[in-house]
Structure 1
């Protein structure tokens, strides 16, 4: 690509100065490369030739194949790239400074009700009981203990699936029931968890993990069948399968995070406390869960109140 060196320098800048995760940088780089390839097709041979009209043409074409949420991220990435080119003297102007971010509909996240979450956790605990008379191998028993521990920890803390797979054994402190999590931008926070999660993690560490651990994953808390650190795809698969087996609506790990946040707020937790627990940089993100609670309240009101 004509502008490869500029893209490489921008990515280096993001890594050194912005503290973005590898996945976020990869997404931003792909967005910028897509835009610059489109500009090349418009016969732009110099970044100084790019105009706001060129960028709007790229947005109009790209929006045909991408959701508004994706276009919003792409716009942020491209604006950041051209702001960087201007600040570092690559271009004399910033053609993207007036590029508007598409408005994303304020949709409410899907969540389980408290009774559905309880049903899911009860089924998970049942599957993790190795004392039940089932004909299964030792490795299968270990997998069931692992799945129970992962589900309990996800719901108990509301952590992201990427944070879960990045956990190491020393991150869990049983004496005060906390776990140290590394979130977006490599920011660390400490999250508490309850007695059910403690019991599930203990059983996994004592009776399950030793059957799977390998030399390459000595520190990882959760392991796959081959003894390596479990990946996000497998965790998502486990959550979907557990929801199906429990007879609750199909959910993702992120929906379980939404559910935990909503139930904490419903139980009287302070909004700022939930923000800190979930690792949200903006309180506005956490406030979405209050809207979910209001919608649930309206639904219960409509069912129970005779003059609703």
Structure 2
């Protein structure tokens, strides 16, 4: 299993988030094999045993998306074992993934959220300006949580108004910064220098103890402020990424440009946002057209 994880990290270049998820998934599967079948080596499991684990997950009312991720983990693992000649046949070839109902990406309403960012008074402290910068970065660039945490001082070019981020598959992309975001960065840097001296930290965004931010920290900040704008349960950092794309599309941005800004590998991943725009058009049509 350790060889498998090294393969994913160094050869397949999987993101840290995916690696953590796969560690959890494969660990749970190995524990199930041991507890239920007294099997200590997952290579010994056949398709019926694997299917029994999947059924157990379904009976626990686990979401189809989560089940499919665990199946994807096992597909990668047994494909790896086959390549290493640890098994003679791939048991995952006989496993079917459950269907996932398509959900439209959740997003915050455009006018209320923009009004909030423009009018809310963040404390003129390191903490207050850092929180503001986290929100401005997520909504102003559409970057992923892991990309935000990974930004270094050298990645930000305030003169050119750009930020360089390392996305999935170690792909680097350059994202433009709006004037509000540039001003927020400058203000944050002043507070950071005042508190810690000459920015010794490699990362741009840090905690009160000058340590790199971590996912739960950013989740707490996003939830705290998004909850002031909407009563929706969807208040994670990723919702601001969805909002970035949806609001761009609603205001006439080209789909290919949004794809590049988000760092999507294919246009298919970006097209999901067109559904939100179509729903908005339907709403306008139903309110305005005499025959609607």
Distance 2:216 2:27 in 1: 26
Provide the secondary structure at the position in 2 that maps to 1:297: helix
Aligned residues: 288
- Are the equivalent residues in 2 in contact too, given 1:212–1:225 (CA < 8 A)? no
How is 1:1-308 mapped onto 2 (pairs within 5 angstroms)? Answer: 7-40=1-34, 41-44=36-39, 49-65=44-60, 66-124=62-120, 126-127=121-122, 130=124, 141-206=125-190, 208-213=191-196, 218-245=201-228, 247-250=229-232, 251-308=235-292
- Are the equivalent residues in 2 in contact too, given 1:48–1:93 (CA < 8 A)? no
Alignment gaps of 5+ in structure 2: none
Give the 4+ runs in structure 1 shifted more than 4 A: 43-49, 214-217
Deviation at 1:69, TM superposition (A): 0.8
Alignment gaps of 5+ in structure 1: 1-6, 131-140
Deviation at 1:217, TM superposition (A): 5.5
Change (3 A) 1:217 1:306: farther
TM-score normalised per structure 2: 0.90
Distance 1:265 1:216 in 2: 37
Deviation at 1:177, TM superposition (A): 0.7
Change (3 A) 1:161 1:49: closer
Change (3 A) 1:304 1:212: farther
Deviation at 1:90, TM superposition (A): 0.4
Change (3 A) 1:34 1:292: same
Distance 1:266 1:186 in 2: 30
- Are the equivalent residues in 2 in contact too, given 1:191–1:277 (CA < 8 A)? yes
TM-score normalised per structure 1: 0.86
- Are the equivalent residues in 1 in contact too, given 2:136–2:181 (CA < 8 A)? yes
Give per-residue Cα distances to partners, 1:87-118, cap 9 Å, x unaligned: 11101111112322222110011112221221
